[in-house]
C-alpha cells in the first residue's frame, strides 16, 4: 500500500504523522543543535531549560492542532471504530482541560461538558432501556430518579437551558457521581 486511499473519487493521505516526518526531523535536529549549543556555552542547566521549553512548546502546539477526519472504511470491509484524529496525549490533554474548565466555570460546563454528558446519557438510555432522552424526557426522568439519579437529572435535564444554579462549575464529587451512575445505567 502506498499510503494513499481513494475515497469517493478523491485521493487523501492516510499516513497521519508520517506525512509530517520531514518537519518533525528538522524540529528534532533544531532542538538538539540548540541544546548542544546551550550546553557548550552555559552548561547542563541551560540545556535542560532548552529541552523543557521545546517540550512544553510542542505540547502547547498539540492543543491547537485541528482534528483530522479519518476516511470511511470501504463498504466491503467491516466498519472499524473511528478515532478522533488526535494523538492519545493530545486527546487526554483536551479531556482534562475540558473537565478542569467545567469544574471552574458554569458557562464552560453548560457549553461543553454538559452536552457531552447528555449525549452519553441519551446513548445509555436508548441502548439499555429503549428511552429517548430528548423525545421522552418524562420517562427518562422517572428512570433516573427511581435509581437515585436526582443529582444526575438536575445537571443533565435536557429541558433546562443551563444546569443547576451554582456559583462555580460542576463540583468534582457531583461529576464523579454522575459518571458512576452513567456507568451503572
pLDDT of res. 17: 65
Q: Which of 119-123, 124-128, 147-151, 175-179 has the weakest average pLDDT?
A: 147-151
pLDDT of res. 7: 44
Mean pLDDT score of the chain: 76
> For the packed helices 21-42 and 44-63, what is the interaxial angle rounded to 10 degrees?
150
Residue pLDDT, tens place only, 83-132: 555 557 777 778 888 888 888 888 888 888 888 888 888 888 888 888 88
Q: Which of 19-33, 49-63, 67-81 has the weakest average pLDDT?
A: 67-81
CA distances from 160 to 38, 61, 124 (A): 57, 36, 20
Percent of the chain with pLDDT over 70: 72
pLDDT band at 32 (very low <50, low <70, confident <90, very high): very high
Give strand pairing partners of 4: 13
**In this structure, what DSSP letter does residue 76 have?**
T
**In this structure, what DSSP letter does residue 13 have?**
E
> What single string gives the DSSP state of each residue in 127-160?
HHH---TTT-HHHHHHHHHHTT-HHHHHHH-TTS
Amino acid at each position: 500500500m502506498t499510503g494513499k486511499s481513494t475515497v469517493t473519487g478523491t485521493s487523501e493521505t492516510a499516513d497521519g504523522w508520517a506525512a509530517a516526518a520531514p518537519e518533525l526531523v528538522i524540529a528534532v535536529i533544531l532542538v538538539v543543535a540548540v541544546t548542544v549549543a546551550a550546553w557548550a556555552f552555559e552548561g547542563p542547566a541551560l540545556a535542560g531549560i532548552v529541552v523543557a521549553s521545546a517540550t512544553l512548546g510542542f505540547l502547547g502546539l498539540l492543543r491547537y492542532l485541528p482534528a483530522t477526519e479519518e476516511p470511511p472504511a470501504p463498504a466491503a470491509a467491516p466498519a472499524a471504530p473511528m478515532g478522533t484524529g488526535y494523538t492519545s496525549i493530545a486527546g487526554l490533554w483536551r479531556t482534562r482541560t475540558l473537565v478542569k474548565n467545567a469544574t471552574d466555570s458554569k458557562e464552560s460546563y453548560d457549553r461543553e461538558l454538559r452536552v457531552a454528558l447528555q449525549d452519553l446519557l441519551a446513548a445509555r438510555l436508548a441502548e439499555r432501556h429503549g428511552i429517548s432522552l430528548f423525545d421522552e424526557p418524562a420517562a427518562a426522568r422517572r428512570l433516573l430518579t427511581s435509581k437515585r439519579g436526582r443529582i444526575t437529572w438536575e445537571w443533565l435535564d435536557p429541558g433546562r437551558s443551563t444546569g443547576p444554579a451554582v456559583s462555580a462549575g460542576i463540583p468534582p464529587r457531583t461529576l464523579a457521581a454522575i459518571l458512576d451512575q452513567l456507568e451503572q445505567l
